[in-house]
Chain A
């Protein structure tokens, strides 16, 4: 009797699991198959002949290549460097310096950034960048993303710095290191895993970001991949599916690679805390 129940339980587990797997996989199936078919349409059908020619055509399109391998990279890496650097400095100060009301500051920042979101504040953000003369520049996009992502980045980073024992830094100071030297030689190496996580989180957010570049950029030569992907259209105005899906797949790969990397190195839970 117990054996039957056990077997039924196992079968039920696999059936329900497959159902969940299907729910999440089916909408993406087309994206994995269509890029490899020369006659792709909107339906999922295994190509008669698997082919890489769609990718070859994407790589032959200099506008598409530039958007993906230059513009998206500049904007995502630029923001990543800026956010990681500033968040580390700020989080370190909030954790180690006797700043009054530092808990209120950390929570207040996150609270404020969840109120002034990119969608609610799109008009003043546009006007601000316009006033600064940075419309249609990579720098404008980088600055806006940096401002928007910093509060959460400081919060994640402070959590990380707080969890590190202070003894190394204390002994460095006792042995006569300067504050800056202690920060550079002792503290920075210890908090590096936290910086990695914040950096990856920032990169993924900017890489996938659509609204900010969509509003702030004008010339096709500066569009990141998230906006450029909407340009593979025939003269009749219908999207060229073979190219779009191949491009979408290329554009998604760095995100998947980073996820696998973070998951392997630190476990995803840590990374999964906040996503704006």
Chain B
């Protein structure tokens, strides 16, 4: 075989790569190191410490992890617990399971019914955050909301969703919002399974559940891992609960992204805000590393 001709010489390639690299260095790499620096200072948005921040060592971190107030409402620990529940129930259970059910239900089917339902799910996923938040605050409204109207139709009691069950509200909201991604990912995973595998199962007489559990799910393991990690990362970092509840009532829906915003841009405490941001990034990094090692192990077993 002849050597493949180089289409672009190295020098030209580096010139092509330079502008994008500059942007990524400035807006991703630099903030990463900057935030670490700011998190050790008492920098604020206004006042004396805005221009001349002082080095305060680990003070911001010690305050975050101060065990006497760690789990009190509005504190970092409480926010982490809320975020954990939010991510687990809305992403891992809500989005992934709903997406899997949708993909499985319409697997090997075609026609306008499938197209319509999938399009509706995709619309819920692509329309802007603020619009979805408006629609949901009306949908969940106590007096006029469509959900309570439906519950009344079936003879149930009205529920005060946003004030009485705020965490459940943002969980349902986020599951609904993002299910389309998992649905699309699982649909394309199902599409990659050779039909002969399933025909064999049909011959053996396996039921639908058995087919899913014993044949399909093991085959799409990599896709499942990818899906779970991505939706976990996105849900962990999303700011959209703020648009529905503003973090309230009484900090009950204050996920870490919203806490960061309140500390940094409402209380103007940039040092403490950076410390929270830093912990968020470390958690993101942990997710990403788990993902990479799982993928590597998958490749090893093949």
Q: Which of A46-54, A55-63, A86-94, A188-196 contacts B (4 or more CB under 8 A)?
A: A86-94
A146 within 8 A of B: yes
Q: Is the interface of B mostly helix, strand, loop or mixed?
A: helix
Q: Determine whether the beta carbon of A147 is less than 8 Å from that of B23.
A: yes
Q: Which of B143, B184, B239, B270 contacts A272 (CB 8 A)?
A: B184
Contact of B38 among A42, A96, A127, A169 (CB under 8 A): A127
* A148-B237 Cα distance, complex, nearest whole Å: 14
- Asked whether A266 is an interface residue with its Cβ less than 8 Å from the other chain, the reply is no
Cβ 8 A contact of B239, one of A17, A119, A248, A269: A119
A123 touches B28 (CB 8 A): no
Report the bound CA distance from A269 to B187 in whole Å. Answer: 9
Contact A121 B131 (CB under 8 A): no
CB interface residues, B 156-184, toward A, < 8 Å: 176, 180-181, 184
Measured CB to CB, the closest approach of chain A to B33, in angstroms, equals 8
CB–CB B274/A248 < 8 A: no
Distance in Å from the Cβ of A54 to the closest Cβ of chain B? 14
Instruction: Tell me the minimal C-beta distance from B237 to chain A in angstroms.
Output: 4
Q: Is the CB of A208 within 8 A of B139?
A: no
Check if A272 sits within 8 Å of B181, measured CB to CB: yes
Q: Which among B122, B134, B233, B238 has the greatest number of chain A C-beta atoms within 10 A?
A: B134
Closest to B21 in A: A90
Q: Which residues of chain A are near B114, meaning CB under 8 Å? A: 17
Q: Are A123 and B20 in contact (CB under 8 A)?
A: no
Q: Could you say which residues of chain A place their CB within 8 Å of the CB of B234?
A: 276
Count A/B pairs, Cβ under 8 Å.
277
Residue of A nearest to B145 (CB): A42
User: What chain B residues lie within 8 Å of A255 (beta carbons)?
Assistant: 126-128
The answer, yes or no, to whether B48 is at the interface (CB within 8 Å) is no
| Contact yes or no, B128 A226, CB < 8 A | yes
B120 touches A25 (CB 8 A): yes
CB-CB under 8 A from A170, the residues of chain B are 5, 7
The reply on B116 being an interface residue by CB < 8 A is: yes
Contact digits for B25-58, partner A, Cβ 8 Å, 1 yes 0 no: 0111111101100100000000000000000000
User: Is B176 a contact partner of A127 (Cβ separation < 8 A)?
Assistant: no
Contact partners of A80 in chain B: CB under 8 A: none
Q: Choose one: A30, A44, A112, A166; the contact of B28 (CB below 8 Å).
A: A112
| Interface CB pairs A-B, < 8 A, 17 | A17-B113, A17-B117, A24-B124, A28-B135, A43-B145, A86-B23, A87-B20, A89-B20, A93-B12, A112-B28, A117-B237, A128-B26, A147-B26, A179-B12, A208-B130, A226-B129, A275-B181
> Which residues of chain B have a CB within 8 Å of any CB of chain A?
4-10, 12-14, 16-17, 19-21, 23-24, 26-32, 34-35, 38, 102, 105, 109, 113-114, 116-117, 120-131, 134-136, 138-139, 141, 143-147, 149-150, 176, 180-181, 184, 187-188, 233-234, 237-239, 243, 257, 260-261, 264-265, 270, 273-274, 277-278, 280-281, 284-285, 288, 292
What 7 additional pairs, Cβ within 8 angstroms, besides A123-B38, A210-B128, A210-B239? A115-B32, A116-B31, A119-B260, A166-B4, A179-B9, A248-B131, A252-B131
- A residues at B contact (CB < 8 Å): 13-14, 16-17, 20-21, 23-31, 34, 41-44, 86-87, 89-90, 92-94, 96-99, 109, 111-128, 143-144, 146-148, 150-151, 154, 166, 169-170, 173, 179-180, 182-183, 204, 207-208, 210-211, 215, 226, 229-230, 241, 244-245, 248, 251-252, 255-256, 259, 268-269, 272, 275-276
